[in-house]
Amino acid sequence: MLQNTMSVKDFVKFGRKVVAVGRNYRAHAAELGNPVPTEPLLFLKPSSSFLEEGGSIVVPSRCTEVHYEVELGVVIGTGGKNIPESSALSHIGGYTLALDMTAREIQSEAKKKGHPWSVAKGYDTFCPVSSFIEKEKIVLEDCHLWLKVDGEMKQNGSTKNMIYSVPYLISYISAIFTLEPGDVIITGTPEGVGPVKPGQTLTAGIEGVLEMTFPVVSA
Ligand code: MG
């Protein structure tokens, strides 16, 4: 069985879903003119959108405005259904730093029409991730995430400003989707999102833990 032989460190290869949380930081909801949600706002990104370091983020030809969103990714180690918030931390296998790349103009159009965000969020290369981060290296209550475009700081936030905590999200999500080893939850972005163009380079990091670099190219 896959489950018995895989390591969650190989989440890019074996992870079956990426559950994304929208508007989990007040300042980011406000910058896009969105209300703060009264319960977690969830969407899925296909695992085919994963991109590992060494690869390039590809801007599809039909996209005019692709945005970066730096997010802490939680890699599930032990799966479960209806996981209580009190034991949620024991289901975490480790972490990854993720970029929730978004075709903003496609998403804006979808929002107006009440359509899903799958296209805006789901293109190949739209989920660049760092290598696996050992669980002990992350202080969940105050983990500093940053992102630069061509060396210029654009996002610089802390998980302490999340609306819904990671244990709450694991509990909430697992009541809907069974969480499986290698699944990734990307937990929302702090403020400062913006467009990136082919030819530019994104660098992102978790303070004191790691940084990663991805060039952006056209299709
Ligand atoms: Mg996001």
Q: How many CB atoms lie within 10 A of CB 17?
A: 18
Q: How far is the CA of 4 from the centre of ligand 1 (A)?
A: 31
Question: Domain tally for the chain?
Answer: 1
Residue 108: how many CB atoms within 10 A of its CB? 14
Residue 1 domain-assigned? no
* Domain-embedded: residue 126: yes
| Distance from residue 1's CA to the centre of ligand 1 (Å) | 32
CA 188 to ligand 1 center in whole angstroms: 5
What's the CA-to-centroid distance between 187 and ligand 1, angstroms? 7
CA of 145 to the centre of ligand 1 (A): 13
CATH code of residue 135: 3.90.850.10
- pLDDT of 8-38, one tens digit each? 999 999 999 999 999 999 999 899 999 989 9
Averages of pLDDT over each 10 residues, the chain, 219 residues: 67 96 93 92 98 98 96 97 98 98 97 97 98 96 97 97 97 98 98 97 98 97
Q: How far is the CA of 151 from the centre of ligand 1 (A)?
A: 21
Q: How far is the CA of 50 from the centre of ligand 1 (A)?
A: 14
Is there a domain that residue 209 lies in? yes
Domain containing 155: what range? Answer: 7-218
In a domain, 61, yes or no: yes
pLDDT at 7: 86
The count of other CB atoms within 10 Å of the CB of residue 24 is 27
Tens-digit pLDDT profile for residues 151-180 = 999 999 999 999 999 999 999 999 999 999
**Do β-strands 201-206 and 144-149 pair in parallel, antiparallel, or remain unpaired?**
antiparallel
- With a CB cutoff of 8 Å and minimum separation 6, the contacts of 1 are none
Model pTM score: 0.96
From the CA of 96, how far away is ligand 1's center (Å)? 14
**Residue 117 placed within a domain:** yes
2 domain-assigned: no
